[in-house]
Amino acid sequence: MPCWTVTTTKLELKNANLTFLKKALERLGYHVFERDGVLTWENGEYRNGNLTMRGANGEAEGKKIRQAYSGEIVRAQAARMGWKVTQKGPNRYQVVKGR
C-alpha cells in the first residue's frame, strides 16, 4: 500500500453509552471531544453507532476501544451495586461483593 494512502476502518458499536465510551477512550490516552452526540479524537470518531478509525492499525485499535468500553461498563455496574472491582490484568477484572 502506498505511503500516501489513508486506511479507514469502520466498526459497529450500536447503542453505546457516550459517557462510558468517552471514559474508555480517555483511559486509553486519547483526548476526546464531544459535540451533538458525536465523539471525536486524534484518529477516530463515533457517530450514529459506528466507530471509524483512520490509520493502518484501525482494526486493532477498535478492538482495544471495545475492550476498554466493556471495562467501563463493568466498573459502572459494580459501583452501582456497591461492589469492588480490581483489575487483575489486561481486560481481566475481579469483582467482589462489598460487606
The larger pLDDT score, comparing residue 71 to residue 55, is at 71
Q: Residue 95: its pLDDT value, please?
A: 86
Model confidence band, residue 23 (pLDDT cutoffs 50, 70, 90): very high
Domain 8-96 class in CATH: alpha beta
Q: Residue 89: its pLDDT value, please?
A: 83
Tell me the Ramachandran region of residue 45: left when phi exceeds 0, alpha when psi lies from -120 to 50, beta otherwise.
beta
| Average pLDDT for 71-88 | 89
Model confidence band, residue 99 (pLDDT cutoffs 50, 70, 90): low
Pick from 44, 93, 48, 49: nearest CA to 68? 93
